[in-house]
Structure 1
Amino acid sequence: MDDDSRLARWQQRTEIPLGVASLVFLASYAIRVLGHGHLTDAVLDLCLALTFTAWALFGVDYAVRWLLSGQRWGFVRRHPLDTVVLFLPLLRPLQIVKTYDTVQRRHGRPWLTVQARVIVYAGLSTVLLGFTGALSVYHQERGAPGATMRTFGDALWWTCSTLATVGYGDFTPVTVRGRLIAVGIMAVGLGLLGAVTGTFASWLLQAFSREEDEGPPGS
């Protein structure tokens, strides 16, 4: 069995387990952040252990795929997003979207068109990244001197306005890590907005083109 087939079988077998691990990662991290000061240390420690366990699974998966590819640095160049996600695990909830797409494909041909799938998946990605972004920036900002985001609701509102590229300025991060997270959210917001806008424009052009080809009724 060659390396490509072994790699394909590994990816097929691990997609759903990694999707579950992503949910565990997101849930445990959310409980740790939102439950701070309300839950016992034992519960918080358990959530921390689950977070690092899920992160370790992502690392093992990356290492196995790297070895099975037989390409070493070529694998890193071909999978830059996976490499970034390995070091920025808060992006891991995107695995949930990937798992959803995989399940849809296994049940036959997807019932949505390509354009609709792009819009739906971009929307799901925005929701997941918005939630994790709000969690992470709130985690860094709460209790910081001069912080304006004092509640998770403030962080969620700030994240929504940032992803939408509005930026009201009523809340701003004051810590270095919070500002780094803000830069990432801005970049993601611009990318997702461009993807949705471009896909919707392409869909409209195709629809109008079909109408012109068909001509008026009775022609």
Structure 2
Amino acid sequence: MLFAAESGRTVIDENLANAAMMMQEFSHIYEGTVFGGKTGAGIAEFDCAGYDHAVRFKADTAAAIARVTFEIIRHGQGADLLVELRDGFNPDGSTAGSLLRFMVLPKEFIPTSKGYFSIPIDISDLVSGAYYWLIIKKAGDADNHFHLHGETIQDSLYPTYRRAGNSGAWTAENAIHFEVYNGETGNLLHGIYGYNAVTWLIWDGDLISKAYRYLPPASGFIGGVRQIKTYQWSGEILKRGVV
């Protein structure tokens, strides 16, 4: 069987296809241990179609992040969530700081029931005790979007800001629910392969119930290959699946 790929004509361009056929680096992300973030019983919804949001946290002694979680829900067809990890960001609008990492959570993967959903980050060269920012970029419209959830009050330990435009100062807002993890303990949750191909594994007890895979296009964040696989187990034997 012969396969072909070409930029502008196929979902995967020739560079990505060539990379996929070569040996590539990979990393595995496990459940790990939470070291920062804001959680609580608050039920406030945050508009993510009209505003970017920024939340601050402090790196722990490991100076590494394996993954982050947000309490999130999809409405309508949803919208892709783009999260950035930045150093040196200032909410007064004077500087966006340095972009250290970004990751896309495809809209198809965002849950339709409110809950915490994991996003791999995989960075290990942070500065212990330094402050960093997670920027959640606005996306979607009035009918198709996602909401972050959080508290009805602010939290000085995890200051949160929003901004509608692309310039100017950010406005302080109430605390968004999120968690930051590091370490290699617990179940395997994510794999990052080669050119930012990412997998998500959803566990039901000791068994995997769903696997999500995202292969982004080389030219940006829109499109790419997005797959959800569901598994049906008979005891500990994999019986059926949908690919």
Short-chain TM bin: under 0.3
Highest RCO, 1 vs 2 (Cα 8 Å, sep ≥ 6) = 2
Normalised TM-score (structure 1): 0.23
- The structure that is strand-richer by fraction is 2
TM-score w.r.t. the length of structure 2 is 0.21
Select the structure of larger CA radius of gyration: 1
